[in-house]
Amino acid sequence: MAGRKLSLIGRADPRGTPEYNLMLGQARANAVARYLTAHGVSAANAGATSRGKLDATGVDEAGWARDRRVDVLLAK
């Protein structure tokens, strides 16, 4: 995987304003990017973005917990 690019996509549950959730998703993705770069992944290869609550599907606490995440995608 050396040199491969990663896309880090931060996500949030549907509660809160769209602006807040975009910021929260970005903060989550940035935290994962910092962790990965501290463990040897090149910062240039770990792009962090946010989808906020755009794709959230949860309707209760268990579903909201699944919405709060960072997806890590390996680029082709």
The pLDDT tens digits of the residues spanning 19-54 come to 999 999 999 999 999 999 999 999 999 999 999 999
d(CA 54, CA 8): 15
Query: Residue 51: inside a domain, yes or no?
Result: yes
Predicted pLDDT of residue 1: 67
Query: Residue 1: inside a domain, yes or no?
Result: no
How many structural domains comprise the chain? Answer: 1
Domain at 62, CATH number: 3.30.1330.60
Q: pTM for the complete prediction?
A: 0.92
**Structural domain for 43, as ranges:** 6-74
Query: Residue 65: inside a domain, yes or no?
Result: yes
